Structure 1
């Protein structure tokens, strides 16, 4: 992702008919809503430029600058960066935010790269560019975007699973549970798209003419996803001791589709979390404290499921609960812009499985992108637990949570 040069940015500012540029004089009024629509449209790249689109803040629609100097503050840059992580756009877009000085004026520049997993949605709606205008995608537009996804170097979660058929997917769960959460109500009411077209648009099958379930489709809608993806389960052990070889008092392989599996994992975590009750000194007020904050454990397990590799391994996510600690093992090391050196650093994130990330957001298991580790650390600190530990290798990530 090479940043655009000043000359390239100025060229986009001057070309007021370009479908690769959106200009806003300020980030106020309707600008945040329309700016997000532009980011979604650039990520979809319907014209197939295979080049980034740019959202300029501090430039008027006609390509001129405001009469008064526009101040590009750190707060504004952070607000623009949050477009990537606030969970409104799924799968999460690839973008960068920078303060640039163009023709002697400061401008906030949001550069958005085309997605490898279109269609990309903003709160359940697919936005595209038609010249300088933003529009919601038609059924034909979405078919074109699906074709783009098929012929790009797709992430593994978007690959079709050879041999699987539509009968492996639960149509009732898709139409009654998943679809109403994934697509805006008014869009559902207006379109007359077929079952296959809807599956294809959401990345659940490879395409209408190629109706094989994808990896993400089987994980989300499959009646027996582990049959096709052997590593898609969580291995839970409760060990009565602090060493390997100590007695195992609870063992379970937790599988099913995402919704079933993650709810069963939550139930297992709750069952083994010990809550002590005390009374504030001199009062009858109960003070409840757990050995581990449930929210931290949920974030870490979901993070492992989202970011692990499912390709070329039969290893599950492992949750091993000792008396003094919990170890959560993720088969899959750092990916993309995340390295062994910068792992866990705020603001550094990438997505091995962008379709899965979008699914977990739709189902409500993820509220924001890139905040799982930070939220786990915050919850552990508030509960009085020692700091979260990570052991990061190229092929595995191990999170260690120690008891209060």
Structure 2
């Protein structure tokens, strides 16, 4: 926070985002204030600030901010009294020529936060223990924030970033029966919310009206976004055709597919078909047979799996398809998830979904017939075509699948 922002808060005697203490002697009250700012009962979604070295009237008293004082404040985060652990920073700041110790506390992702078992909140400028109803509201905020990653709202994305025509023409007819479509007279926003492509907004928000708080979800941008990578930077596929067997060999062609999923999958599968080479087999029977170097179905299953199971948060990396002379490598960001581990990865019956709602949409669009069978189908198709077994490189940060060319 800037000096100007801190001064404004320090001098705002009505703000419920500020706690002022003349010294560090009132450690218990400081911890209660930290707990209350974590819970963010008014739903400001902004940090709260504890000033050490200021009176209740916002006047700075002038204290010596020592390393020991800062360490004592920092230890309040991890001494086990405030749980879950708060997200906070402790700083020495000089405002108008006077030194203060400043504790900046971020709203918790998973409220309620407790101090010695008590749930502290701010009610106006004072602290209080949460009532049963207030605790329920904090629990609902936690359920909102614990939504699967693929249906979390994108706060900065406007609703007009979703393509209404694509939603009505390409998605709805596949997702809903003709009878339901004929009776569907809900507004566009309510249809998007029902399809999990938009979220109605934070519960109990006093600062937003319903209309202004509706936001596209990650799923909405992926499926019907006009330009998904505007809001989810890694949501594209990089396709490289390499003239050789190693990185550094010449690149014959390169493509970046930055489309909503129905178009992206269609374009990607066209690229797969264009790059498969077939040869005539005149020796295994009386009729000539064209034998592909890779079975299309196996490639389809693996690239769909990569798009479905990749991590879309905390990374800008795309799904990569690297087509070498003797093998195809498909890599997606995000390691094993849930019940899937390095040890059981690829084992029949062992599967989980980082993006369960995306899995449902891919099924609605016809790209998934049954859940949990993608790798099994790919292995079977590779064996039928005479290719070597599929290889997996499973790391915490990514998964790479290697399909080797038929000899």
TM-score by length of 1: 0.61
- 1:52-201 correspondence runs (5 A): 151=144, 153-201=146-194
Q: 1:204 to 1:282 in 2, by over 3 A?
A: closer
Aligned length: 257
Which residue matches 2:338?
A: 336
Structure 2 match to 1:400: 402
Secondary structure of residue in 1 paired with 2:351: coil
Report the Cα distance in structure 2 between the residues aligned to 1:241 and 1:280, rounded to whole angstroms: 29
Residue 215 (structure 2) pairs with residue 212 (structure 1): yes
Verify the 8 A CA contact 1:331 1:397 in the aligned structure 2: yes
Match for residue 317 of structure 1?
A: 319
Given candidates 347, 350, 374, the residue that maps to 1:348 is 350
Alpha carbons 1:226, 1:233 under 8 Å: kept:
yes
Aligned to 2:376: 374
Query: Which of these residues, 226, 248, 268, is aligned with residue 229 of structure 2?
Result: 226
- Name the CA distance, whole Å, in 2 between partners of 1:335 and 1:174: 30
1:149/1:370 Cα in 2 relative to 1: closer, same or farther (>3 Å)?
Answer: farther
Q: In 1, Cα distance between the equivalents of 2:395 and 2:233?
A: 23
- Asked if the contact 1:150/1:206 (under 8 Å) is kept, the reply is no
Aligned to 2:273: 270
Q: Distance in 2 between matches of 1:360 and 1:149?
A: 28
Q: How does 1:231-246 map to 2 (within 5 A)?
A: 231-246=234-249
CA-to-partner distance for each residue in 1:155-211, whole Å, 9 max, x for gaps? 111111122112111111111221121122222223432211110011010128332
Distance (whole Å) between structure 2 residues aligned to residue 191 and residue 260 of structure 1: 25
Distance in 1 between residues matched to 2:262 and 2:244, nearest whole Å = 31
Taking structure 1 as reference, are residues 177 and 322 closer, same or farther at Cα in structure 2, changes over 3 Å only?
same
The answer to whether the aligner puts 1:294 opposite 2:287 as a matched pair is no
SS at match of 2:330: strand
Instruction: Give ranges in structure 2 of 5+ residues lacking alignment.
Output: 1-139, 202-209
| Alpha-carbon contact 1:381-1:387 (below 8 Å) kept | yes
Give secondary structure in 1 for the equivalent of 2:240: strand
Aligned equivalents of 1:182, 1:196: Cα separation in 2: 16
Please report how far the alpha carbon of residue 359 of structure 1 lies from its aligned counterpart in structure 2 after TM superposition.
1.2
Separation in 1 of the partners of 2:285 and 2:176? 54
Deviations 1:57-106 (A, max 9, x none): xxxxxxxxxxxxxxxxxxxxxxxxxxxxxxxxxxxxxxxxxxxxxxxxxx
Q: 1 CA distance for matches of 2:284 and 2:403?
A: 29
2:250 corresponds in structure 1 to 247
What is the TM-score of this pair, normalised by structure 2? 0.61
- Structure 1, unaligned stretches of length 5 or more? 1-146
Question: Matches of 2:360 and 2:142 in 1, distance apart?
Answer: 15
Q: Counterparts of 2:235 and 2:219 in 1: how far apart (Å)?
A: 11
- Following the alignment from structure 2 to structure 1, what is the Cα–Cα distance between the partners of residues 172 and 231? 23
**What is the CA deviation profile of residues 246-293 of structure 1, one whole-angstrom value per residue up to 9, with x for unaligned ones?**
11111111110001111111111111100112335674x220100000
Distance in 2 (alpha carbons) for counterparts of 1:282 and 1:211: 62
Q: Is the 8 A contact 1:205 1:212 kept in 2?
A: yes
1:148 Cα deviation after fit: 10
Higher RCO (C-alpha 8 Å, min separation 6) = 1
Match of 2:26 in 1: none
Q: Secondary structure at the match of 1:176?
A: helix
Partner of 1:203: 196
Q: Provide the alpha-carbon RMSD of the alignment.
A: 1.8
> Whole-Å Cα distance in 2 between the matches of residues 159 and 219 of structure 1?
12
Please identify the structure whose Cα radius of gyration is greater: 2
- SS for the counterpart of 2:305 is helix
Query: Aligned in 2, Cα 1:376/1:282: closer, same or farther, shift over 3 Å?
Result: closer
In structure 2, the CA distance between the partners of 1:292 and 1:363, relative to structure 1 (3 Å rule), is same
